[in-house]
Amino acid sequence: MDVRAAVAFEAGKPLEITNVQLEGPREGEVLVEVKATGICHTDEFTLSGADPEGLFPSILGHEGAGVVVDVGPGVTSVKTGDHVIPLYTPECRECPSCLSRKTNLCTAIRSTQGQGLMPDGTSRFSIDGKPLHHYMGTSTFANFTVLPEIAVAKVREDAPFDKICYIGCGVTTGVGAVVNTAKVEPGATAVVFGLGGIGLNVIQGLRLVGADMIIGVDLNNSKKEWGERFGMTHFVNPKEIGEDLVPYLVNLTKRGADQIGGADYTFDCTGNVTVMRQALESAHRGWGQSIVIGVAPAGAEISTRPFQLVTGRTWKGTAFGGARGRTDVPKIVDWYMEGKIDIDPMITHLLSLEEINRGFDLMHSGESIRSVVVY
């Protein structure tokens, strides 16, 4: 069938909105009509050419929500008409990673997914007879997409697509980093570096679990008001403090009898490796955990003095907030519908597919938190 898509033909070039061809679902696959998709910084990272796994031409997008319109042979867990959120981290419940219960990083289809292909090693998308790559197994910058059934989470039908698409990445990543990866306890102190679409969700996750001191760090002063809306208690702009950031944060987090300072938990939501080091070094001696969420460009490396780890700080990373998609995503949709977490105010711009490149411009200028394309 012909579908409408925003195609990334080349790194660093705007997406081109055009008709492409999509084959129907094969064994174990489902065809989804995408109703809405967010634009995440990771889409921009891959489009920019900084992603070592970036493939062109491809159909980007990994933060969607939609309806199953057809299923291939052997599909049992979803049916036509079900509302779903595509999962770039699938959950097969059978691979050694899923069975380990130690990680959410299902390995059932990771290798073909990284090659921009469906699990059988072929692509469902093409243009003028030439294959187009899938992206992160989801390709939500098309109004229809094909996914393996293990890569969709069935969600309740009364939840609005233009909001819950954000649970397909940003919300789950930020809230999950707090709840699943760091397992932050009530009363904790935390520093969040980068108050964009991910960082604000870390902040609301910290509020949800009852953290006491929630410090937000951003170079953009307009993010102060944003952070405060979701529970941030202190804002720091590193350009305006007149001293080095790490000692400033260590000092700010000194509490009562504990005059060592440093936060119980820190989160990098920038993808900048210098910031990752600052985040690790502003964690508390003896027990502070620093969680890397940001995705860094090809060739970038992190460093610190090993003494930072010898003296009890822990460096951790998280993908998709440690969430097991088919199990956890429907619960996060419930949290949203029950008012436990906010999404609506973070969706600052609704765009048509034709306007998708504007979403990337709004991200670059720092004007948007999340732009959502509605089909």
Which active-site residues does the annotation give? 40-42, 62-63, 92, 95, 98, 106, 110, 169, 370
Among 141, 144, 193, 265, binds ligand NAD (CB under 6 A): 193
- Residue 276 engages ligand NAD in binding (rule: CB under 6 A): no
Token pair 């008409």 in the structure block, residue: 81
How far are the Cα atoms of 233, 263, 287 from residue 279, in angstroms, in the given order? 18, 9, 14
Instruction: Give whichever of 40 and 217 is closer to Zn ion, judged by the CB atom.
Output: 40
- Residue 223 engages ligand NAD in binding (rule: CB under 6 A): yes
Instruction: Give whichever of 40 and 211 is closer to Zn ion, judged by the CB atom.
Output: 40
Residue 38, strand partner residues: 63, 372
Best CA proximity match to 217, nearest among 190, 243, 242: 190
For Zn ion, the binding residues in 137-196 under the rule CB under 5 A are: 169
Among 269, 323, 362, 373, binds ligand NAD (CB under 6 A): 269
Label residue 307 exposed, middle or buried (CB < 10 Å: 0-12, 13-18, 19+): exposed
Task: Provide DSSP, 81-93.
Answer: T-EEEE-SS---S
Among 37, 42, 113, 204, binds Zn ion (CB under 5 A): 42
Site string for ligand NAD, 33-52 (x = CB under 6 A): -------xxx--x-------
- Residue 193 interacts, among ligand NAD, Zn ion, ligand AHE, none and using kind-specific CB cut-offs from 5 to 8 Å, with ligand NAD
- Residue 271 interacts, among ligand NAD, Zn ion, ligand AHE, none and using kind-specific CB cut-offs from 5 to 8 Å, with ligand NAD
Q: Kindly report the CA angle at 61 between 57 and 62, in degrees rounded to 5?
A: 130
Render the burial of 252-276: b for 16+ CB within 10 Å, e for the rest: bbeeeeeeebbbbbbbbbbbbbebb
Which of helix, strand or coil describes residue 153?
A: strand
Instruction: Give whichever of 51 and 82 is closer to ligand AHE, judged by the CB atom.
Output: 51
**Nearest residue to ligand NAD, scored by beta-carbon proximity:** 196
* E strands present in 285-353: 289-292, 314-317, 347-351
Binding site for ligand AHE (CB under 6 A): 40, 42, 51-53, 89, 105, 110, 169, 295, 319-320
Binding site for ligand NAD (CB under 6 A): 40-42, 45, 169, 173, 193-199, 217-220, 223, 269-272, 275, 293-295, 318-320, 363, 366
Binding site for Zn ion (CB under 5 A): 40, 42, 169
